[in-house]
Structure 1
Amino acid sequence: MPKKAKELSALSVSKLKENGRHAVGGVDGLHLRIVNGSRAWILRVAVGQRFDDNGKQQVHRRDIGLGPYPEVSLAEARAKALEIKKQIRNGIDPIKQKKEKLESLRIQNHRKKSFRECAKIVIANKSRELKNEKHIAQWSSTLETYIYPTLGDRIIGSITKIDIATALESIWIEKNETAKRIRGRLETIFDYAKAMEYFVGDNPAAWKGNLEPILGNLKQESRPHPSLPYVQVASFIHDLQQRNGISPKALEFAILTACRSGEVFGALWKEIDFKNKIWIIPKERMKADKEHRVPLSEAAIRLLEQLYQETHPQPDDFIFPAPRGGMLSDMSLTALIKRMHDKKLKEDGIGYIDPKQNRVITTHGFRSTFRDWSADKTDYPREVCEHVLAHKLPDEVEAAYLRGAYLEKRKGLMADWAEFCSAHVN
C-alpha cells in the first residue's frame, strides 16, 4: 500500500521553494509543482484501469491541473481534488469530460454568428454572381429596412420561422412582391448558415409547409409601371432640363434611349462609341444576358458631350455617378420625379400621373411611354420597337437578324423619338 503524504499546512506550503513536485497531503496524489518560481496545483490520478492479455492490471495515470498557486489556495485545491476523485469513483473521466465541455463551448462560440454577419457574407458572395449592381444594392437595402431592425443582431441559430413571419407580416399584404423577394433572400442566408453549421435544423425561411401556412398566398394582379402619356413627354423633358445635377441628366438619357434605369446607372464612358453614335452595353449588364447596341440620337450625343466636357472622365468612370461616388440608385430618380410632380401639382392640380392608374409616374414607365408612341405614331415594325426595348423575341433566328439588319431602322426610330421628345412646348 502506498505511503500517505504528510498533510501540510497552508504556511508550510507557502514556504516550498525548490523546483519539483511536492506532495501536500490531505488528498492522495495532490501536489504543488514548482518550475523556476512558477507554482501550480497538480492532481495525479488513476483513470481507466484495465487488465492486459496476461491478466495483469494496467493503470493509466494522468495529471490534472487544478490552477495556479496562490490564486487557488490549498483548501480550494484539496476541495477540487476530492470532487475529481469522487467523479472517478463514479466512472466519470474528468479529463474527457473537460475536453467535451471545451468542444461544446467551441461549437457554441462558433455558432454565435449574428444574422447581420451572415447576411453580409452572403451579399458579398452574391456580388460576384449577380450582373446587375442594382439587384445587389436591393439585397442590402431591403434587409436594412425590413429585417435588421428586429433580427439583425440576433444569433442566427436562435431565429425561428415565427420570428421571420413576424418580420414579414407587416409588409406581406401592402408590399407583397417586396416581401416575397426578401423571404427568398432570407432562405439563401439561412442555407449559408446551415452549411457553415451556424444554424441547425430546417431552414426557417423555407416556404412550402413552413411559412406558407402562416403568411398565406396572395392573388397578385399584375399592374404595369405608371407611365406618362406620350403627349406630355416633351413638356416633362422641358421641365427636366431646367433642373441641375446628375439625376436629371440620367433620367433624360434614360428617356431618350428607352433603356432600363439599371443599364443607365451602370453605363461607363468606354461603352460609348461617339464615332458611330452607339452605346454598347455588355451582356453582363443586360437582363437578357446578350450584348445590346443602343443607337444614340443627336440629342443623346449632345447630352453626353456636355457631360464629358464638364467632367473630363476616365474610360472606366460611370457616366452618371452618384454625388458621393459609385452608382446612382432608383431612389434618386424616384425622388426627382416626386419633386417634379409636387411642383406641377401646385401649378395645375394634376402633376405627373398615369391617368389610367391615378399613380405618380415612374422611371421605368417611360419605356411604356416610348412603346405606346412607337405603336400609335410610327410605322416601324413591332420587332424593331421591341428590340429597342431589349425585349427577348420568341424566335432566336429573328432576334439575331434584328441585331444586325435592323440597326439602321432603330437609328431612325430613336432619332424620331428624340425629335418628338424635344418638340416645341407652348
Structure 2
Amino acid sequence: MKELKPIEVGRMTEPGRYRCGDNLWLQVTPTVDGKGVSKSWLLRYTINEQARQMGLGSLRLFTLKEARERARKFRQLLADGIDPIQAKHDQRAKAKVERAKRKTFQQCAERYIAAHEQHWKNEKHRHQWRQTLLGDYCKPIADLPVNAIDTALVLKCLDPIWDTKRETAVRLRGRIERVLAWATVRGYRKGDNPGRWGGHLQEALNRNGRVIEHHAAMAYADLPAFMAELRQRDSVSAKALEFTILTAARTGETIGATWDEIDLTTKLWTVPGARMKKGKTHIVPLTDRAIAILTPLPREDGNDHVFVGGKVDSGLSNMAMLELLKDMRPGLTVHGFRSSFSDWAGDRTNFDRETREFSLAHGLTDKTEASYRHMTAVEKRRKLMDSWARYCTSKPVVIGSDNVRAIRGRRVS
C-alpha cells in the first residue's frame, strides 16, 4: 500500500485506514448520521509482541506534517522500550494526583482547624484560630497553592502587624507554621517550612533583639501593696483574682473550678486534665488564705461553680477578673501574675526548679513528673505556696512609680 501525500489526505472519503509512513495512519470513518466521514490519525506499533494503536487527534486539529511530528515523538519512546499509551496514561494519572494535591492555604487551614478543634477546650480558642488564619491577616496567601508559599509570602502576613500587634503576630506565625507542617505531612507541599522561627523568621522579624511574647506582668515587689488593695474589694471577681494569684493558676482553671474539685479538709484543689493546658490533672495545695477566700463564698442551688457568675447556673465570665484589673492597674493581665510568681520564686526562694515549674503546671519529663505527683512533692509545693501567700500578705514596700515590666527572658504560659 502506497503512502498518502498531503494533497491526497483531504480527498480521501472512502472509509478505511491509509498508510502515511513511519507507523502513521489516516483513519476515515463514517459520521453518526451517515452523511459524511470523519478523519483522524493513528499510530500503529508493536511492543512486547503485542500490536497496539494510539489515537493522535483529528485531521481538523493536526495536518499531516504535524501528525508526523507527533508520531515521531512517540516512536522515540518506543525506541527506549516505553509504551506510548502507558506513558500517556501515567502522565494523566500524575496530573490527576497533582490536581488533587493543589490545595490553597485557606483550604489547608480549614482542614487543619476541622481536624483539631475538637481537642481545643473553649469556643474562644477556636474563634481565635479561625479569625487569624481565615480572616484578613492571611489574605496574601489565602488563595495561593500551599506548595507555592515561601518566606516572602509569610512575611507579607506578619510584617503589617509585627510591631503594632506583636502578640497576635507571634500567634499567627505559629499557626501558619503548623498549617504548613500539616500540609507537608499530607503531601500538599515539600521542602522547609517557611513559617519556622528559629534560624529563619527570627532573623527577619527579631528587630528589637528578642521576641516580645508575653503578658504584661506586675513586678513582684509591687504585689503586697496590690494584694492589700485587692482585699478591700468584696466582689466575687476580686475574690477570684486573689485566689488565682495565690494559686498561680490560669484564668480558665479558676473560673471553671467546681466544689467537687476542692477538698477543704486536705486543703487540695484537683483540677481535671480536661481543663488544663497540658491535658493532665493538676493538684494545687491551698494555703490558709486561699481557704479563707473559699469558705464564705456565696453558693447557688444547682450551680456547682466555686466562683458564681452573674447568669443563672454559670461561673464567673472569663473577662470578669481582667475588667477588675483594668480598673485597678490598667495595662496588666491576669495571666501576668504567673510570671510575677515565677520571678519571685526564682529570685527570692531556694526551691528547686522542678517544684517551681510544677507549681505552674508546666510540662516536665514523664519521669520527673511522675515523681512530683507523689504526696511528698505536693507537700513540697505546699511549702512554696505558703511562702508565696505570706509574701503576698506581707507589709507593702514603697517602690518606684513604674510597676509594669516585661517577663524576664521568657514567657510563662
Q: What TM-score comes out, normalization by structure 1 length?
A: 0.57
Residue 310 of structure 1 and its aligned partner are, at CA, apart by 5.0
Q: Aligned Cα RMSD in Å?
A: 5.7
Alignment-derived partner of residue 363 in structure 1 = 334
For residue 291 of structure 1, what is the amino acid of its counterpart? H
Q: Is this contact kept in 2: 1:294–1:388, CA < 8 A?
A: no
Alignment-derived partner of residue 89 in structure 1 = 71
Q: Which runs of 5+ in 1 are unaligned?
A: 9-21, 35-40, 67-76, 342-351, 354-359, 421-426
Q: Is this contact kept in 2: 1:263–1:286, CA < 8 A?
A: no
Listed one character per residue, the Cα deviations across residues 272-292 of structure 1 (whole Å, up to 9, x for unaligned) are 446655320245726696632
Query: Using the alignment, how far apart are the partners of 1:318 and 1:124 within structure 2?
Result: 33
Q: Percent identical across equivalent pairs?
A: 25
Alignment-derived partner of residue 337 in structure 1 = 325
Alignment-derived partner of residue 78 in structure 2 = none
Residue 411 of structure 1 and its aligned partner are, at CA, apart by 9.0
Alignment-derived partner of residue 28 in structure 1 = 27
For residue 106 of structure 1, what is the amino acid of its counterpart? K
Q: Is this contact kept in 2: 1:256–1:300, CA < 8 A?
A: no
Choose from 252, 269, 272 the match for 1:279: 269
Q: Is 1:293 paired with 2:315?
A: no
Q: Which runs of 5+ in 2 are unaligned?
A: 3-8, 19-25, 76-83, 395-413
Aligned length: 354
Residue 90 of structure 1 and its aligned partner are, at CA, apart by 3.5
What does residue range 19-418 of structure 1 map to in structure 2 within 5 Å?
Answer: 28-32=27-31, 46-50=42-46, 59-62=51-54, 79-80=60-61, 85-86=67-68, 88-92=70-74, 99=89, 102-103=92-93, 105-125=95-115, 139-140=129-130, 142-143=132-133, 147-173=137-163, 179-207=169-197, 210-216=200-206, 218-220=208-210, 225-226=217-218, 229-236=223-230, 238-239=232-233, 241=235, 251=241, 253-255=243-245, 257-265=247-255, 267=257, 270-273=260-263, 278-282=268-272, 285=276, 291-295=282-286, 297-303=291-297, 306=299, 309=300, 311-312=302-303, 333-335=321-323, 337-338=325-326, 340-341=327-328, 352=329, 360-367=331-338, 389-390=359-360, 400=374, 402-405=376-379
Residue 237 of structure 1 and its aligned partner are, at CA, apart by 5.2
For residue 114 of structure 1, what is the amino acid of its counterpart? T
Query: Using the alignment, how far apart are the partners of 1:287 and 1:29 within structure 2?
Result: 73
Query: Using the alignment, how far apart are the partners of 2:261 and 2:206 within structure 1?
Result: 46
Change (3 A) 1:148 1:400: same
Query: Using the alignment, how far apart are the partners of 1:382 and 1:254 within structure 2?
Result: 21
Residue 416 of structure 1 and its aligned partner are, at CA, apart by 7.4
Q: Is 1:7 paired with 2:26?
A: no
Residue 209 of structure 1 and its aligned partner are, at CA, apart by 6.3
For residue 89 of structure 1, what is the amino acid of its counterpart? A
Query: Using the alignment, how far apart are the partners of 1:188 and 1:132 within structure 2?
Result: 20
SS of structure 1 residue aligned to 2:218? coil
Q: Is this contact kept in 2: 1:157–1:199, CA < 8 A?
A: yes
Query: Using the alignment, how far apart are the partners of 1:189 and 1:197 within structure 2?
Result: 12
For residue 230 of structure 1, what is the amino acid of its counterpart? P
Listed one character per residue, the Cα deviations across residues 183-221 of structure 1 (whole Å, up to 9, x for unaligned) are 343233222222323224443224466545543564239
Q: Is this contact kept in 1: 2:308–2:315, CA < 8 A?
A: yes
Query: Using the alignment, how far apart are the partners of 2:134 and 2:324 within structure 1?
Result: 23
Query: Using the alignment, how far apart are the partners of 2:184 and 2:345 within structure 1?
Result: 51
Residue 118 of structure 1 and its aligned partner are, at CA, apart by 1.6
Residue 366 of structure 1 and its aligned partner are, at CA, apart by 3.9
Query: Using the alignment, how far apart are the partners of 1:387 and 1:321 within structure 2?
Result: 31
Query: Using the alignment, how far apart are the partners of 1:165 and 1:221 within structure 2?
Result: 15
Change (3 A) 1:141 1:337: farther
Listed one character per residue, the Cα deviations across residues 68-108 of structure 1 (whole Å, up to 9, x for unaligned) are xxxxxxxxx65147689556534349866864664455245
Q: What TM-score comes out, normalization by structure 2 length?
A: 0.59
Residue 161 of structure 1 and its aligned partner are, at CA, apart by 1.2
Residue 162 of structure 1 and its aligned partner are, at CA, apart by 0.8
SS of structure 2 residue aligned to 1:28? strand
Query: Using the alignment, how far apart are the partners of 1:85 and 1:62 within structure 2?
Result: 12
Query: Using the alignment, how far apart are the partners of 2:90 and 2:314 within structure 1?
Result: 50
Q: Is this contact kept in 2: 1:156–1:199, CA < 8 A?
A: yes
